[in-house]
Amino acid sequence: MNTTVASTLDSLKSGYDAIVPAGEPWIHEISRGQYFRIIDVEGNQAADTLFFNARDYEERYSAQNTIREQANIYLTTGTRLMSSKGNSLLTIVADTCGRHDTLGGACATESNMVRYAIEKRHMHACRQSFLKAIIGWGRGLEKRDLDHNINFFMNVPVTREGQLTFEDGVSAAGKYMEMRAEMDVLAVISNCPQLNNPCNDYNPTPVRVLIWDPTD
């Protein structure tokens, strides 16, 4: 499998360009054949992301199928993001970071209490951002639809004992990953607000999203 591969697409020629502030959600449809890039603007940021079949929300990203298909727990160039029905949602076609997490999940008010302290319960979390996004979308998605997510740019090594650890990120300012949609997909990002572990260098920052129309 390839790892770091640069894109040939010009950011100045994208048809869509948006900044997602730290701690905020983003939701958007990406048509089949379009290219979708997430940029780690300042470095060490984590972009928690969900994907759905835009025509059938019952079909969504599956971590299990993706890991089984590629025999690797990390995502990078060449990875096909598989759906719950065994179809390709998107393919990663460029990646200047090198690897992305499939196992760490999304932070929640409950996990903030368990991992850190009871008084952390009030702190904003990715599960809340996802819920805010789908409620605002208003097209039938509900809290029960918040399934396992990808953590782009996040570094979650697995120990020899099979435990997960949250470590300093392997990304840096300007690093990005880029995907080609293999079907019409709905993308939902929570630009992680986490202040309690090093996934965001204890300082959440913006990400940038770009979309291009098909090149052929």
Q: What is the pLDDT of residues 13-44, one digit of tens each?
A: 999 999 999 999 999 999 999 999 999 999 98
Distance between CA atoms of residues 168 and 196, nearest Å: 12
In a domain, 140, yes or no: yes
Q: Provide the number of structural domains found in the chain.
A: 1
In a domain, 12, yes or no: no
* 102 or 27: which leads in pLDDT: 27
In a domain, 5, yes or no: no
Q: For residue 6, what are its two tokens? A: 């640069």
Residue-averaged pLDDT of the chain? 88
In a domain, 123, yes or no: yes
Average pLDDT over residues 99-110: 76
pLDDT > 90 fraction of the chain, expressed in percent and rounded: 65
pLDDT at residue 117 is higher than 50: no
Tell me, what's the pLDDT at 103?
84
Average pLDDT over residues 89-108: 88
In a domain, 13, yes or no: no
Q: Residue type at 15?
A: G
In a domain, 15, yes or no: no
CA angle (36, 40, 44) in 5-degree steps = 145
Its domain, for residue 186, covers 23-212
In a domain, 119, yes or no: yes
In a domain, 1, yes or no: no
Average pLDDT over residues 165-191: 90
Compute CA distances 11 → 30, 39, 90, 108, whole Å. 17, 11, 20, 33
Average pLDDT over residues 202-206: 89
